[in-house]
């Protein structure tokens, strides 16, 4: 069957999925084991682009994606649009002002009278947490580093786009029925990111790429993607129905550990072994 037809039937539920088994896996957190990261398909979400460029292990990650990744690298077309529209705008239009305000607030916290020291400590903790999470946004080196990352993506990544008009009604229906991903957002961007990603995996299989595990690297923690690090069971079930493999969401730090040889435990298919693609 044509890959677009297969994808359309899956997303519109003309093809059934093993939802209960996927729910069991997500809740039970199937036993994990240390195993090779070699045959993994890797997807990148828009939320990790800037963080990848500024990550302390950036060189290790880029080298892995460029030279050592055996499975396919998928960059959903929608993610490129969202990076330009949202993420890049943070650096180019907000960064300078944000840094000045951030530094000024830190100075004022340090001036607080000793009787407010408990509050000062709490504020300082929050400021440090914010800096760790979003400091990349006002680092001038971030954009310079993006060039290296983009060169690798140009060489290695599948960059798929599903036909927007063809999938428009499915996007609307899935949002109304709170089908992940994207039901927590106003637009349909997350749905198209997911649909593009699945299409990229289908294209990779068509080109004889082998993978026994699928991950998306993302900083998005909303429940329409995951809960406490566990991928939404519907997303798991859709991946399993198309490819017969397990699916996880990783942060960029998890990816850094994996490419550095400290491979995070990848979930086994101790529950998935009961999940066989439906006919």
**3-class DSSP string for 143-173:** HHHHHHHHHHHHHHEECCCCCHHHHHHHHHH
In a domain, 226, yes or no: yes
**Could you report the per-residue pLDDT of 36-87, keeping only the tens digit for each?**
577 899 999 988 877 788 788 989 999 999 999 999 999 999 999 988 887 5
Cis amide prior to 54 (ω within 30 degrees): no
| Inter-residue contact 45 to 225 (CB < 8 Å) | no
Task: Give residue 232's pLDDT.
Answer: 94
In a domain, 197, yes or no: yes
| pTM, full prediction | 0.78
| Inter-residue contact 33 to 268 (CB < 8 Å) | yes
| Inter-residue contact 50 to 142 (CB < 8 Å) | yes
**Could you report the per-residue pLDDT of 122-132, keeping only the tens digit for each?**
766 766 666 55
Task: Give residue 228's pLDDT.
Answer: 84
In a domain, 89, yes or no: yes
The interaxial angle of helices 233-243 and 189-206, nearest 10 deg, is: 20
Confidence of residue 279 (pLDDT cuts 50, 70, 90): very low
Q: Which residues contact 20 (CB under 8 A, 6 or more apart)?
A: none
| Inter-residue contact 143 to 95 (CB < 8 Å) | no
Task: Give residue 89's pLDDT.
Answer: 55
* Helix or strand run (H / E) with residue 33: strand 32-33
Residue 229 has pLDDT above 90, yes or no: no
Task: Give residue 246's pLDDT.
Answer: 92
**Could you report the per-residue pLDDT of 189-223, keeping only the tens digit for each?**
999 999 999 999 999 999 999 999 999 999 888 88
Task: Give residue 182's pLDDT.
Answer: 86
In a domain, 109, yes or no: no
In a domain, 102, yes or no: no
Residue 170: which CATH number?
A: 3.40.50.1010
Q: Cα separation of 42 and 152, whole Å?
A: 14
In a domain, 104, yes or no: no
In a domain, 40, yes or no: yes
Residue 63 domain boundaries? 3-93+140-274
Task: Give residue 93's pLDDT.
Answer: 47
DSSP of 204-258: HHHTT---SEEEEE-----TTTEETTEEPHHHHHHHHHHHSSEEEEE-HHHHHHH
Domain count within the chain: 1
Task: Give residue 111's pLDDT.
Answer: 72
**Could you report the per-residue pLDDT of 135-193, keeping only the tens digit for each?**
555 566 666 778 888 899 999 999 999 999 999 999 999 999 999 998 888 889 999 99
In a domain, 108, yes or no: no
Q: Please state, as a whole number, how many other Cβ atoms lie within 10 Å of the Cβ of residue 66.
A: 16
Task: Give residue 192's pLDDT.
Answer: 97
Q: Cα separation of 241 and 18, whole Å?
A: 8
126 CB-contact burial (10 Å; exposed 0-12 / middle 13-18 / buried 19+): exposed
């Amino acid at each position: 069957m044509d890959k677009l037809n297969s994808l359309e039937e899956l997303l519109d539920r003309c093809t059934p999925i093993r939802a209960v088994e996927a729910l069991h896996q997500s809740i039970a957190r199937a036993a994990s084991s240390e195993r090779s990261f070699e045959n993994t398909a890797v997807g990148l979400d828009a939320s990790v682009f800037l963080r990848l460029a500024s990550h302390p292990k950036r060189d290790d990650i880029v080298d892995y994606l460029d030279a050592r990744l055996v499975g396919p690298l998928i960059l959903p077309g929608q993610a490129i649009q969202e990076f330009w529209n949202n993420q890049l705008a943070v650096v180019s239009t907000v960064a300078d002002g944000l840094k000045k305000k951030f530094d000024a607030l830190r100075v004022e916290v340090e001036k607080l009278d000793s009787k407010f020291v408990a509050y000062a400590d709490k504020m300082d903790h929050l400021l440090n947490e914010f800096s760790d999470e979003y400091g990349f946004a006002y680092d001038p080196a971030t954009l310079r580093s993006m060039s290296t990352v983009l060169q690798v993506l140009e060489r290695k990544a599948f960059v798929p786009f599903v036909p927007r008009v063809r999938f428009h009604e499915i996007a609307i229906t899935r949002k109304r029925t709170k089908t992940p991903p994207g039901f927590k957002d106003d637009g349909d961007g997350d749905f198209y990111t997911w649909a593009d990603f699945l299409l990229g995996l289908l294209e990779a299989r068509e080109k004889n790429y082998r993978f026994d595990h699928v991950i998306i690297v993302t900083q998005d923690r909303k429940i329409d993607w995951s809960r406490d690090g566990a991928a939404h069971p519907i997303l798991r079930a859709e991946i399993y129905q198309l490819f017969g493999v397990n699916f996880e969401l990783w942060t960029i730090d998890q990816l850094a550990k994996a490419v550095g040889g400290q491979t995070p435990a990848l979930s086994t298919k101790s529950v998935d072994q009961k999940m066989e693609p439906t006919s």
